[in-house]
Amino acid sequence: MKLIRKTQRILKFLSHDFQLSHYRYCHNVFGIKDLLQPEKHDPLTIKQIRSEDHNAVIDIIKQYYLTEHVFVQTRNMDLKEDRAIDEYIAMLLKQGNSMYARAKDGAVAGLCVNFASSPVDPKNLRNYAFYRQDPNTKDFLYFIAKLQETPNLWNIYKQPKIFEIKMLAVLPEFRRQGVAVTLAEKAKEQAQDQGYNVVRMDCINQYDFKIAERCMMSCLVKFPLHKLRGPNAPFIKRNSEHNRCVRVYVHARIHTDRDKEIRGRDDFENLLE
């Protein structure tokens, strides 16, 4: 009887030791510990974009943001020598609300172009677009103006200005590290510090809306791009492969009855001005 018990204990011990060595072997091969622990990245430094940074920022925006913009892809636009687009981005930067993120080694990790807009800004942008000679550049600026006032948040929230997160660009080597979310959160804080009650972010691609949701912003409306019409026709055709949905995300410190009404509607034609 004693021999049987001893044998059971030895077998139990050997079985336990085998399991430990087995799991230890898996850990060495697959790096389970590394998978469970989040990867640590160097802290980012967030700073305001200064006037001397404008040229470099414009180049980054054109290379890493506009090349992925749905309208630029639809029209196959060449942005290299488009001075009108450069002037438009510079106009946004001159307001002084844009910021960039730098890594520990000083490299630019990402950019966030912000702009506090009033109801007159889309009209001014259309006037600027009217005198552009390139038809694609003209339509691109018309498209931006149309999207900016759809829906008209100045009327919905009765605010003279709306703080817009207009362009988020993260360099490829810094993507999937939370850089865009950090910049968007800083933009929200900046808007609040400056006294703006409504922050807007228009999301077209599959990544933007995830950033907005992580920043606790709410989707006000969602509609397909073909519903945005230019002077003569939709900017993007209904049957186009680039006909995506636009999600307008909002962070508002005030709410109105009109706000609640829009959230419950499926027909957004009345929102197109």
Task: Give every residue of the chain whose pLDDT is below 50, as ranges.
Answer: 14-40
In this prediction, residue 21 carries a pLDDT of 39
In this prediction, residue 239 carries a pLDDT of 93
In sign, the C-alpha dihedral spanning 178, 180, 184, 190 is: positive
In this prediction, residue 266 carries a pLDDT of 53
Which tokens go with 254? 């005030």
For residue range 115-158, what is the model confidence (pLDDT) as tens digits?
999 999 999 999 999 999 999 999 999 999 999 999 999 999 99
In this prediction, residue 11 carries a pLDDT of 53
103-131 burial by CB neighbour count: b if 16+ within 10 A, else e?
beeeebbbbbbbbbbebebbeebbebbee
Nearest C-alpha neighbor of 235 from the set 139, 115, 153, 171: 139
In this prediction, residue 171 carries a pLDDT of 96
Strand order in the sheet with 162-170: 45-48, 99-102, 108-117, 162-170, 198-203, 245-252, 218-224
Q: Which residues does 87 contact at the CB level (< 8 Å), separation at least 6?
A: none
Q: How far apart are CA 191 and CA 248, in angstroms?
A: 17
CB neighbours of residue 100 within 10 Å: 23
